[in-house]
Structure 1
């Protein structure tokens, strides 16, 4: 569906289950995302992604030249229910090389310019410095911090 210099970004399909599951059972990936998930919970999440509503999008990210699975990016309603939230999880082997920045920028462009959304938010733990830095790099601004899920969360946003 989307393409960057180094990635293909395609709609999540049932055939992606095995690859996406790698994210949900990886301790490093899940460090700031509530920990690893149990098998039954992963199945529920995958089913929700496969049968999502019209206001939710889930994409798998693959490296263009190798077709290796890199991660998952989504755009769906935020916990607070007002604005859509961009979320992402990438496997550690792909961290620090700009892949997430590249992909998040494309999805934000789609959200603001194709879907004509007026605002997109992102929520991450303030302790996740890399994620906070990525959000600022793609033009999102820190809106506020809150306490949720037992940790301090940073709410970033970007407007059209």
Structure 2
């Protein structure tokens, strides 16, 4: 019995000829870029730009704490002296006004965390007064510092 002759299959698909359309590829890249930009969280430090004191040890800042910045006014030519500024919640306070803010914020709420970002030239007595006002409301207090190997580069 003779063997059947092998059948040769003919491909039905033809190779694509011409240029490749790059519009879908560019669209996908832009969508991925947009997705990552909107999905990432930008960490910003609210408050004034202060030069923090350096420390070799550090503690992670809590996510839900209040941040208060303490700095001194710029030097004037008249030599009037530099006065301390307390900056919290996008407002500038004096010490009695800041105490009232903490008292109002502490009513009917559980204790929170207060992070003090103090300029290294800020008076220590003022920092102690701010800490005492927060501790009187049963808040936790942290003093922000800059790691020793890191240069000051932003707020």
TM-score by length of 1: 0.31
- Give 1 or 2: higher helix fraction: 1
- Give 1 or 2: higher strand fraction: 1
Higher relative contact order (CA closer than 8 Å, sequence separation 6+): 2
